[in-house]
Structure 1
Amino acid sequence: MSQMTSKELLYIEDALAHEQFMQQKCREAASKIKDPELRSFVEGMASAHQKTFGTLFQLLK
């Protein structure tokens, strides 16, 4: 695999920060939701952001 350019690295770092932020906000929101179905849906969104974070992080290895 070829080395990333500095611009590509900045893009990945920015995307990681966004995914981490969205995961945190989804978890915060889910903790406040009373409806079990909606809470489960939002928790699933948090998990999806966590998975995307992991995928992006693997690009840095």
Structure 2
Amino acid sequence: MSPKELLYVEDALGHEQQMKTACNDFASQIQDPELKNFVQGLATKHETAFKKFYNLLNV
């Protein structure tokens, strides 16, 4: 992988991690159960995306 590609993957991992954290933080503050579940689902999707990007490096 080129240095530029590695920087892209690093950025993508950072963004996914940041979005997961933000979603979890927001979900902890939401009172509405339906909205809270939705935002927690978004956090899960960002965690899954992070794992997929990370696994690309381990192949």
TM-score tier (shorter): over 0.9
User: Which runs of 5 or more residues in structure 2 are unaligned?
Assistant: none
1:57 aligns with 54
- In the alignment, the residues of structure 1 paired with residue 47 and residue 56 of structure 2 have an alpha-carbon distance, to the nearest angstrom, of 15
Percent of aligned pairs sharing the same letter: 52
Richer in helix (by share): 2
User: Which runs of 5 or more residues in structure 1 are unaligned?
Assistant: none
What TM-score results when the alignment is normalised by the length of structure 2? 0.96
What TM-score results when the alignment is normalised by the length of structure 1? 0.93
Query: What CA RMSD, in Å, does the superposition of the two structures yield over aligned residues?
Result: 0.4
The structure with the largest alpha-carbon Rg is 1
- In the alignment, the residues of structure 2 paired with residue 60 and residue 9 of structure 1 have an alpha-carbon distance, to the nearest angstrom, of 9
> What is the deviation of 1:35?
0.2
Q: How many residues of Structure 1 are paired with residues of Structure 2 in the alignment?
A: 58
Tell me which of 6, 9, 13 is aligned to 1:9: 6
> What is the deviation of 1:60?
1.0
